[in-house]
Structure 1
Amino acid sequence: MADLQDEPQTLGVGAEDLPAATSPAGALDRAAALLAAHPVADGCNTLVWTLRHSPYHDIDTPDGGVDTDIPRLRSGGVGAQFWTLLTPHEAAVGDPVVSETLEQIDVALALMRRYPDRLCLALTPDDMADARNRGRIASFLGPVSGRTLTGSLGALRAFHSLGVRLLAPAGAPWAQEGLTAFGHEVVREANRLAMVLDLTGCPPVAACQLAAASKAPVIVSNAGAAALNPHPGNVTDEVMLALRAANGLVMVTFDTARTGDSLHAVADHVEHVRALAGAQGVGLGAAFGAEPGTARPAGLTDPSGYPRLIAELLERGWSEADLALLTWGNAQRVLRDAEFTARAAQHRRSS
């Protein structure tokens, strides 16, 4: 039986209390009620990288220079955020990926300290529920790049001790076109630490192998459906089916290049993922937080657009139960399952 604190706080609004979505305004009202009960757990935001280059930027007030701030997160109904620690470039020689990742972690932790009444560092799914219940945005650190490990499981454990809870294998030499022996060790250790593997950007062969090798669910934190748009960053139907078999999660991004230039196009990707990965295998990972100039679909230019997407899905006939999974439930379930897997692995080691 799930903990009572994991149950959605409905604020007195049940499915039977919500008016029918007979108009866009009616659908938006229903979306607001749904998000009050089941806020968005967003799988990807790149704000940490942006703030690293603008250390004095205040996200407590809206600013046209960046698309993410606390007022717009609140307006959009965001209750949990995965803050990516990936760097947007790779150096061919003298690659500084480890030091850059450590700097990213430092900026992220400083962000939590700067806004303690609004953001709360989360390490576990219990932290996620507790932050929501206290009116804060649960903040998970990660992913970090698998390239940071450089053949060392000790590096993975060090990142975990710093609060990182997601690892992205894409680009790592141990997970290129298939898992190496060290890659299998990484998967086992990530499972033991309850660190979720984020397969965004992995080649299909590697993604399917990682999904099969992991005893805990894996995710794709930000992508679209390759069947609708053959962008190299999108996920193939084969990978979606592999994630479904592994109880994983595909989180749909809001990126014009990958998911089209309109809210309706993004909704099409969400529906395609649900059709392939199942209602328990679809989530949202907008990848906001980028510097100005990033193309966004109309209506989804910043986190405040989430209610419009939920309204669109309501008008397409989505049930409250499926929307609750989309926004919050599926992300928390993945984190909870990862924690259960870690406990089982640790128990086996101690017995």
Structure 2
Amino acid sequence: STGTGTTGMEMFNLNFMFQPEPLESCPLEQGQSGGAIMASNSSDRSDRSDKPLDQKTLRRLAQNREAARKSRLRKKSYVQQLESSKLKLAQLEQELQKARQQGIFISSSGDQTHAMSGNGAMTFDLEYTRWLEDQNKQINELRTAVNAHASDSDLRLIVDGIMAHYDEIFKVKGVAAKADVFHILSGMWKTPAERCFLWLGGFRPSELLKLLVNHLEPLTEQQMLGLTNLQQSSQQAEDALSQGMEALQQSLAETLAGSLGSSAGSSGNVANYMGQMAMAMGKLGTLENFLRQADNLRQQTLHQMQRILTIRQASRALLAIHDYFSRLRALSSLWLARPRE
């Protein structure tokens, strides 16, 4: 071709580069053919400027292929790690079952092993595990009823049973707090992810209501107002309890630090020390009261929520609450079983 200044050999190379595959065709090939025509009509200067760009494109494509290959390898490795973690979890569950039969309880948090020797905290851990198992059965029954569009009367029986089950755990916690209030407040009977959101030995009622609103629509204006007022009153009660807890901690710290730096050994210092420890013990006695008030707030919020909602909305709310805490427990299991590098 003499009009474009392209030699015969260059035209042969271009035609060879963009020769279509004999067995299949695709839109990409059409685009390549169009590119060849444009190249044949371009000047020598354009050809010279296009070649480095083509090389860059080829390098970029090669890099992309390599990155995709590495990504597939990482994905395959991650899937294998998940499968390994799943096997480890199954083994842990078998060990837990054997331990229960032998009178030993392995905490659901995965970081403690306890012997059942009459200790109140350990007894509570076991009772809480049984409570969770019973709750799972009730929730499965409720989910089946909701999906089957059961009657309101049937749903009410199941919902009332679940609410009574919640009342039971609050009673059990009250008994356990008398034996070891620190164990209940610390949340060591819960999984690590649940402990991350712990407030005075349990969940924050106001935060739970915020999570539920989107799962309960459509709501009437009266229902929305009722839930908003319930959320605000719960928040106010939580703030008051939190402030009281902070004041107790500050007072307790000041009591324990009262005689720091004093000379040791004299009878007066010993008496002063014993007096301060007695005062500290008295202040610790109020911890149980804070925990009881927090659990009362949680219990009342659940029951008031049920009264505001219809029976079908209450059913969806209980399912959402259960699913939320189940996901927290599942997240903890994955975290504890994660591969360590």
Q: TM-score range by the shorter chain?
A: under 0.3
TM-score, with normalisation over the residues of structure 1?
Answer: 0.21
Larger radius of gyration: 2
Query: Greater helix share, 1 or 2?
Result: 2
TM-score of the two chains, using structure 2 as the length reference: 0.21
